Amino acid sequence: MDSIGLLSSVLCKHWFHPPVVAIWTDGATLSAWSEVEVALAAAQAELGLIPADAAATIARRLEGVKLDPQRLAADIAHTMHPFVPVLHQLEELCGEPAAAYLHWGATTQNIFDTGAALQLKRSHALLLESIDQALAALATLARDHRDTPQAGRTHGQHALPITFGFKVAAWHAEMRRHRERLVSASHGAFIASMGGAVGAFAAMAGRGREVQALVAQRLGLESNELPVRCAYDHTAAYVSALAMMGSTVEKIAGEVFTLQRSEIAEVEEGFHRGKVGSSTMAQKRNPGLVMNLTGLSRLLRSRVPIALEAIVRHDEGDGASNNICDVTLPETVICAVSLAHGLARLAEGLVVDPAAMSRNLGRSGGLIVSEAVMMALAPHIGRHHAHKVLYDVAQDTAEGGGSFATRLRDHSLVQPLLDRLDIDVLLDPARYVGEAPDCVDDELAR
């Protein structure tokens, strides 16, 4: 078992959504590179820069290309170059004279960047698919629980009531915004770059920009507006957008983690017989998917500083940055798609317990709606004085125990107003959810 590493180890490779993994294997990467070489030759043939025959042979021979991995590994180590050994095998496959026209006027990083753009574009489609699946599941949850009262909490303490649908609608809104940002960041991020060694198309006989435009067109990419190799803002912006989406998934996972706590128990991630929580504590029903998503998001987020720092490049080309970007991008994208897909599964499988929500909401004996009382007092004694009243009564209750309602009624500023205030109604949390249900409707209508 020589398997090793985040994406390869049998211990963790199930964390990742298989279709996106398949886009980034070595085999798929080499295929993407071949597609780029084929498109380059075709474009150059079209413009008369290389013979049409050569381009045709290249296209035919590189279709479904398979290379010798052992030899490749050895040659890459020896040449200390990640592409020249690939190129040599491709030349052999093409044979003479076509081999002579392969990689014409290009440099390694052109092939790498354009190939990665192809892979990114394919991953992006999967990403949107998973986000849409998650949005649909969240929308269903929000709709179903539009009116399910639940304790709203701030800083770990009961704050005011909400509805569970309101909470989920906010998750939906955040994921929807990430989707918009990702689509926006994708523009200009999936680009064909054929500028050659320093980006100035030196070896393209003055027709480099045309060549690049044709390559882009053939591959379904945009043409890099100025293909210097020392620009990374396009990809960094996309990576940042991925990580921000991942952070929202982590937030939602964290909320489920909290709400699933033994003492709260308002929701539970999907469970199936056979899912094991512990090798020694048989009763455990852990939020395993939740923890997995939490971890993946942190892994993803830890890659952002690499991408941002990689904007800071030396010279017309900077191998140190290229190297680490080339190896970090796949795992970044794979984490992101797996996060979106995992959120869909989490939302689809979530078990919600409205009774537990109701039970928790009632625990504080009305303290959770102290604001309702304050706002009812405010027109009579002023908002600021009302806050003081509630503060005193609530803190007395917290310290001295007893009934909040009784202590309220006994307060000298409240007593005179009792005929105008129905304390019992004010202290019913289920009546004080504000515009939560309307907010759900608004969000679902967006």
| Window 287 to 316, contacts with its own copies (CB under 8 A) | 287-292, 294-295, 297-299, 301-306, 308-309, 311-316
Q: For its own copies, which residue of 132, 144, 331, 428 counts as binding (CB under 8 A)?
A: 331
Binding part of the chain for its own copies, among 38-46, 115-123, 286-294, 409-417 by CB under 8 A, reads: 286-294
DSSP label of 326:
H
- Annotate each residue in 126-165 with x if it binds its own copies (CB under 8 A) or - if it does not, as one string: -------------------------xxxxxxxxxxxx---
Q: Position 172: which residue type?
A: H
In sign, the C-alpha dihedral spanning 267, 273, 276, 281 is positive
Per CB under 8 A, contacts with its own copies among 11-50 are 11-14, 21, 24-27, 29-30
**Cβ contact 421:377 at 8 Å:** yes
- Annotate each residue in 337-366 with x if it binds its own copies (CB under 8 A) or - if it does not, as one string: -----------------------x--xx--
Close Cβ partners of 152 (under 8 Å, ≥ 6 residues apart): 158, 159, 160, 161, 162, 167
Task: Kindly state the smallest distance separating residue 93's Cβ from its own copies, in Å.
Answer: 13
| Residue 80 exposed, middle or buried by CB count within 10 Å (0-12, 13-18, 19+) | exposed
How many residues line the site for its own copies (CB under 8 A)?
199
Task: Kindly state the smallest distance separating residue 105's Cβ from its own copies, in Å.
Answer: 7
- Annotate each residue in 59-88 with x if it binds its own copies (CB under 8 A) or - if it does not, as one string: -------xx-x--xx--xxxxxxxxx--xx
Close Cβ partners of 395 (under 8 Å, ≥ 6 residues apart): none
Binding part of the chain for its own copies, among 39-47, 96-104, 124-132, 406-414 by CB under 8 A, reads: 96-104
Q: For its own copies, which residue of 125, 140, 143, 277 counts as binding (CB under 8 A)?
A: 277
Structure tokens that stand for 351 in this block? 């078990």
Rg (CA), the chain: 30
- Annotate each residue in 392-431 with x if it binds its own copies (CB under 8 A) or - if it does not, as one string: -xxx-xx---------------------------------
Q: For its own copies, which residue of 167, 179, 341, 345 counts as binding (CB under 8 A)?
A: 167
CB atoms within 10 A of CB 53: 12
- From residue 370, how far is each of 8, 148, 424, 431 by CA, in Å? 54, 20, 12, 13
Q: For its own copies, which residue of 46, 132, 144, 255 counts as binding (CB under 8 A)?
A: 255
Per CB under 8 A, contacts with its own copies among 172-211 are 173-174, 177-178, 181, 184, 188, 196-204, 206, 208-209
Close Cβ partners of 249 (under 8 Å, ≥ 6 residues apart): 293, 297, 339, 340, 342, 343
Residue ranges of the alpha helices (H) in 80-195?
Answer: 84-94, 108-144, 164-186
